[in-house]
């Protein structure tokens, strides 16, 4: 009886090992594809890119440049000098720069647009720069502060000069200073 149990245990061990080898073989193309996508891994990156006449400067703790030209970054600071002269400073937990100039930011995003009348400060959960329309598309919970005005919404757009449109339960309060 003991020999039979030992034989059964050995057979189960061999079957488990064979199943593991089979699983490794079947998932190999997927694992190779994932590792082949990353072209370069960089730490402490400082990158400038001109998109539609606007100059974007990206500083990130870590970035991956993929074979298709996409740059994925984490813990990033993004500065933008727009072709009209206005400036933007953004911080995000993560982001992606697409080869066509689209910029996608995720995590808590904090943006500042310095103006003569005081800084325009915004927070959002996601942001997308559309290089064709030259506009930021915001999503998630959005808050906007400028002087005595506070506004918010769930979606919105921001033009390079700071003109902002909020929607999706948008609200605003203003206190005269």
Question: Is 22 among the domain residues?
Answer: no
Q: Are 36 and 28 in contact (CB under 8 A)?
A: no
Residue 148 lies in a domain: yes
Q: Specify if 11 maps to a domain.
A: no
pLDDT for residue 116: 87
- Residue 103: the pLDDT is 94
- Tally of structural domains, the chain: 1
Q: Residue 61 is part of which domain span?
A: 38-174
What is the tens place of the pLDDT at every residue in 20-69? 665 666 666 665 555 546 678 888 888 898 988 899 999 998 888 888 88
Residue 13 is assigned to a structural domain of this protein = no
pLDDT > 70: percent of the chain: 80
If you average pLDDT over residues 92-106, what whole number do you get? 93
How far apart are the C-alpha atoms of 77 and 103, rounded to whole Å? 13
CA nearest to 54, candidates 92, 96, 115, 103: 103
What integer pLDDT is reported at residue 104 of this predicted model?
Answer: 95
- The answer, as to whether pTM is greater than 0.75, is no
Confidence category of residue 121, pLDDT binned at 50, 70, 90: very high
pLDDT digits (tens, 9 = 90+) for 131-153: 999 999 999 999 999 989 999 99
Q: Is residue 62 in a domain?
A: yes
pLDDT for 23 equals 63
Report the CATH number that the domain containing residue 75 is assigned in CATH.
2.60.450.10
**Does some domain include residue 133?**
yes
Residue 12 has pLDDT above 90, yes or no: no
Residue 44 in domain: yes
pLDDT at 2 over 90: no
Got the DSSP string for 92-123?
Answer: EEEEEE-TTS-EEEEEEEEEEE--TT--EEEE
Q: Give Rg (Cα) of the chain.
A: 25
């Amino acid at each position: 009886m003991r020999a039979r149990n030992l034989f059964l245990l050995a057979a189960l061990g061999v079957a488990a090992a064979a199943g593991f080898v089979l699983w490794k073989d079947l998932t190999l193309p997927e694992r190779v594809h994932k590792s082949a996508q990353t072209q370069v891994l960089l730490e402490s990156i400082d990158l400038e890119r001109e998109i539609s006449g606007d100059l974007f400067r990206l500083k990130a703790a870590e970035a991956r440049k993929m074979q298709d030209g996409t740059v994925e970054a984490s813990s990033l600071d993004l500065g933008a000098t727009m072709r009209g002269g206005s400036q933007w400073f953004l911080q995000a937990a993560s982001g992606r720069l697409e080869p066509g100039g689209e910029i996608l930011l995720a995590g808590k995003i904090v943006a500042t647009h310095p103006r003569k009348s005081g800084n325009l400060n915004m927070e959002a959960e996601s942001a997308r720069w559309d290089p064709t329309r030259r506009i930021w598309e915001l999503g998630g919970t959005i808050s906007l502060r400028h002087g005595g005005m506070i506004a918010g919404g769930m979606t919105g757009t921001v033009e390079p000069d700071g003109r902002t449109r909020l929607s999706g339960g948008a609200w605003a309060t203003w206190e005269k200073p």
